[in-house]
Amino acid sequence: MKLTGESKFFIGIIAVTIAIVIGGIFFMSKPEKALEKSELVPAGSQIKGNWDAADYLVEFSDFQCPACGAFYPQVKTLVEDNKDKLAFSYRNFPLDQHPMAVPAALAAEAAGEQGKFWEMHDYIFENQASLSEEMLLSAGEKLDLDKEKYEDAFKNKKFQDKVSKDLSEGQKFGVNATPTFFLNGKKLNPFNFDDLKKSVEEELKN
C-alpha cells in the first residue's frame, strides 16, 4: 500500500511521540542519585543522636509550618528511640507565607550559639500557636540563656547567612515543601509519619 505524504507525516508524529514516552519512562525509572552526607549535613549543622552512625536523617523544616509542628513530637520520639543508631540534622527552610519562620530560625540558631539549639527548637514547636517576636525574646530567659548575648544575636540577625544558606541548598536539593526528609542521602516522600517511621526502621535493620 502506497502511503500518502499526509500519512507519512502522521506516522512520523506517532513514532516521535512513542519515542518521547519511552524515553520519559526510562528517565523516571532511573534511581535517584543519593546526595553525599557532607552536602546534606555541612559543617555547623545542628545534629542530634549519634553523628558516627551509619544512618542519618535530615529534615528541612519551617518553625511556623503546621505540618512540621504535627510531625515534630513523633520525629523527636523516633530520633530519641534510635539515638545510638541514627544521626538527625535539622535544617531551616522558612517559607515565604510564614512571616515568623525566619525570626524563629534566627532565634533557634542564636540559642545554638550557647549550646541550646534543640531546647529552643522544642520550645518553639511546643508553643507554635503563640509564635511571635515577643515569645522568641522571652524564650531566652526561659531557657536560661545569656540574655544579652542571645538578644543581640537575635535582633541583629547574626545567623541570617546560615538560615539563607540552608534555604538555598534545600532548593538546590529539590525541597519545595515542609517538612522534607532525606534518609541516607535519598529524598523521601512520606504521606504521613508512619511512612517516615517505616522507612527509617527498615534502613536501620540493613
Total number of domains in the chain: 1
Give the three cell numbers for residue 113: 550559639
pTM for the whole thing?
0.83
Tell me, yes or no, whether 94 lies in a domain.
yes
What element of type H or E holds 169?
A: helix 160-172
**CATH code of the domain containing 78:** 3.40.30.10
Domain, as residue range, for 59: 37-204
| Furthest C-alpha separation in the chain | 89
pLDDT (tens place) for every residue of the chain, 206 residues total: 555 655 555 555 654 455 454 544 433 434 468 999 999 999 999 999 999 999 999 999 999 999 999 999 999 999 999 999 999 999 999 999 999 999 999 999 999 999 999 999 999 999 999 999 999 999 999 999 999 999 999 999 999 999 999 999 999 999 999 999 999 999 999 999 999 999 999 999 98
Asked if residue 134 is part of any domain, the answer here is: yes
- Residue 23 in any domain: the answer is no
User: Domain for residue 6, yes or no?
Assistant: no
- Which residue matches cell numbers 518553639? 124
91 closest CA partner among 116, 48, 60, 113: 60
